[in-house]
């Protein structure tokens, strides 16, 4: 029998893109999913646009050559806003990016007030301003940028208790800001943050819908690949910094990965998940 499963490479600067990986894995389609993290350069928010425009396409060209996916998902808001078009120009396969979910949040809000939770770099970007101007011009958007939540999400993936102060800071930064008491939808614009969905929702002072891009990305992947209904399987996982991958074994095994690749310009050596 011919294997009808399409191969998808999910890429991020760290492990936040696993939230997107999980959404695609839950789609119920015949897909073989690989995951790659450029954690040697984490966080991307501290790198210049020029550096990322050079680094991300070159790295993905190498990974596509070795892993031969049918599509690539750039599961990183920073990389998507800066280098997505460069990646698409460099590859001959479909490339799906991440967009802060301003548009669906604007459609969903009943109070007219949206929270935007992202990294500090995404909160400040002109790209985000343009999304708000285009899709939420008549809404109040309360923004808060958190770098601490990124580390808290990675703590959780390693099996540790996430930093409570990071959760508290984010909730107070949103709901405690002027107009924040009216927030009924939060647009989550960092792929790390859905990994803390339970903690953020539990800490919220009022009911709110926490909206991320995972499900929308999964639908887009299925659409561009015309994927058939079936079983999703894990294929390859790799890191540019193997040292930083330590402690992630339970999270990787839970997603079906058995070996980890060290990603370099010409080095894709395989090691056991440990």
Catalytic (active-site) positions? 76, 190
Instruction: Name 88's bridge partners.
Output: none
The span from the first CA to the last CA of the chain, in angstroms, equals 34
Whether 14 has a binding-site annotation, put simply, is no
Whether 77 has a binding-site annotation, put simply, is yes
Residues contacting residue 52 through CB under 8 Å, at least 6 positions apart: 44, 78, 79, 82, 83
Whether 267 has a binding-site annotation, put simply, is no
Whether 246 has a binding-site annotation, put simply, is no
Q: Which residues carry a binding-site annotation for substrate? A: 12-13, 44-45, 77-78, 191-192
Q: Which residues carry a binding-site annotation? A: 12-13, 44-45, 77-78, 191-192
């Amino acid at each position: 029998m011919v294997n009808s499963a399409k191969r998808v490479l999910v890429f991020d600067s760290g492990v936040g893109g696993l939230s997107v990986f999980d959404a695609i894995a839950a789609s119920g389609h015949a897909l073989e999913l690989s995951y790659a993290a450029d954690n040697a350069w984490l966080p991307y928010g501290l790198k210049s646009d020029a550096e990322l425009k050079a680094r991300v396409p070159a790295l993905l060209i190498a990974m596509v050559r070795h892993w031969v996916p049918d599509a690539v998902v750039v599961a990183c808001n920073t990389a998507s806003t800066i280098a997505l078009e460069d990646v698409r120009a460099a590859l001959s396969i479909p490339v799906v990016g991440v967009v802060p979910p301003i548009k669906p949040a604007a459609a969903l809000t009943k109070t007219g007030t949206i929270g935007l939770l992202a990294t500090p770099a995404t909160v400040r970007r002109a790209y985000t301003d343009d999304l708000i101007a285009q899709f939420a011009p008549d809404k109040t958007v309360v923004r808060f940028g958190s770098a601490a939540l990124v580390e808290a999400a990675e703590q959780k993936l390693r099996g540790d208790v996430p930093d409570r102060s990071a959760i508290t800071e984010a909730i107070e930064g949103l709901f405690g800001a002027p107009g924040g008491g009216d927030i009924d939808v939060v647009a989550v614009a960092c792929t790390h943050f859905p990994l803390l969905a339970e903690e953020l929702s539990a800490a919220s002072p009022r009911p709110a819908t926490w909206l991320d891009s995972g499900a929308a990305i999964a639908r887009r992947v299925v659409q561009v690949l015309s994927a058939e209904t079936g079983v999703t399987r894990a294929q390859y996982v790799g890191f540019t910094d193997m040292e930083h991958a330590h402690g992630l074994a339970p999270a990787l095994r839970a997603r079906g990965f058995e070996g980890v690749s060290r990603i370099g310009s010409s080095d894709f050596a395989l090691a056991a998940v440990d």
